[in-house]
Structure 1
């Protein structure tokens, strides 16, 4: 596994004073162990694909990783999928009554290559306002893509009461669910994210993450019961039609030794 992780060789292009670069050998562990991560991408150093719409003018993009998946089809390869979306000022596209929606989708592999899709969309018609479709290599040439993390300490939470107390006190929390329950030396599938919004439904703690792309949003919804067990359901929502397709349901435990982990950040 160490040889596989060493395929990632990151060069630093931009680091703020409050974050640290994630070393190449740590990216797999940091992601699957709930570390608070941010990506920084130097778009000018990446290799553009043929344009599929108006070209985007931005040279750097950076955002907090709010959710993603990491899976393996064999013991030699793994693939990561990250997704973020946010509203940005629409004045550059002459949108005066509404903001434009920026969707970033980043499939990555352990071979050191990331395909970065960035779409600015009109949320009324889903028309493409600008597109950036590029291939970024992790440090093989100039600095292209890097991961940074804060100095926060992660503390595992093993009970419903601990998770409830952390969230109700305003504390930050992340999760990493190994939904196949298999080790990194076998085939596996992780769902990872930050608990940014939550609610209590019949006493259960409910939270979710969205992993968006241009047309579809993959949703993972977790429900933590008082016995410290988690039911995770996943489905996809089509942006244009609002139709919903169920994907699956998974169950696990946050108890000590369980495959589902929740961490508080200090």
Structure 2
């Protein structure tokens, strides 16, 4: 039976080629319409803040954007928050038994200004090994921070069966959930990401994204049921104490009139 109690977990492996620079004025539309994005930051051309720890030696950093949020506010048309983390080579810090964890957090507004926080941490003690705290601008002559995307076609998926077929075929998929269910002309809150790891639980499709910063990880866990409805549960995990704080639960539909979108990339 398809509705079996077993849990199947999948991780998609693929190579994505990022070729097109996204103009600053298109970042909002590309982000909320499921475009795969990568950021490239020239650290030497950004404006440094007073150091809060050992200075980082890197001059360029880049990573695929696995997830983020985009919301409206009283002082900006939109505010975007991106977060990535990965393990890096520890030789620069004379660490051989364990790899340092690099966390990149990027709040960005509709003015094209981004504050880029980069922390290299010892995951045993959470001690700062190096810090970069800088202000960068998109679209500037020195290209301080830029975004690139692929030429893939984004096809919206409106049914559970289409999402299931896409994921099980190994094709790339992204999602964009407007969890407040309001138009961009009003107050809104989007959660956007790539579907990288997913599982089938009692027939439902479950996947999640983590948006990390130095102190906490914001988790958005989505569950798509056979009736095309999605339930998103959000919570924060404290890195040092492992305590969990619930943030909220949201429900929507991937049907054509729904506020939740899942895209197949071709």
Q: Provide TM-score, normalisation by structure 2.
A: 0.92
Alignment: residue pair count = 251
Q: Name the counterpart of 1:202.
A: 202
Q: Name the counterpart of 1:80.
A: 80
The 3-state SS of whatever aligns with 1:92 is helix
Q: Name the counterpart of 1:104.
A: 104
1:188-199 maps to which residues of 2 (within 5 A)? 188-199=188-199
Q: Name the counterpart of 2:7.
A: none
Separation in structure 1 between the aligned mates of residue 29 and residue 23 of structure 2, nearest angstrom: 11
Unaligned 5+ segments in structure 1 are 1-15
Alpha-carbon shift at residue 193 of structure 1 (Å): 0.2
Change (3 A) 1:75 1:126: closer
Q: Name the counterpart of 1:230.
A: 230
Change (3 A) 1:27 1:96: same
1:134-149 maps to which residues of 2 (within 5 A)? 134-140=134-140, 142-149=142-149
Change (3 A) 1:75 1:50: closer
CA RMSD of aligned residues (A): 1.4
Separation in structure 1 between the aligned mates of residue 70 and residue 48 of structure 2, nearest angstrom: 25
Contact 1:74 1:186 in 2 (8 A): no
Q: Over residues 175-202 of structure 1, what are the superposed CA-to-partner deviations in whole Å (9 max), with x where a residue is unaligned?
A: 0000111111111000000000000111
Q: Name the counterpart of 1:93.
A: 93
Q: Name the counterpart of 1:65.
A: 65
Change (3 A) 1:47 1:248: same
Alpha-carbon shift at residue 138 of structure 1 (Å): 1.9
Contact 1:180 1:189 in 2 (8 A): yes
Separation in structure 2 between the aligned mates of residue 143 and residue 107 of structure 1, nearest angstrom: 18
Separation in structure 2 between the aligned mates of residue 27 and residue 169 of structure 1, nearest angstrom: 29
Q: Name the counterpart of 1:186.
A: 186
Q: Name the counterpart of 2:20.
A: 20
Q: Name the counterpart of 2:44.
A: 44
Separation in structure 1 between the aligned mates of residue 68 and residue 116 of structure 2, nearest angstrom: 14
Indicate whether 1:173 and 2:196 are aligned: no
1:214-253 maps to which residues of 2 (within 5 A)? 214-253=214-253
Separation in structure 2 between the aligned mates of residue 254 and residue 176 of structure 1, nearest angstrom: 10
Alpha-carbon shift at residue 17 of structure 1 (Å): 7.7
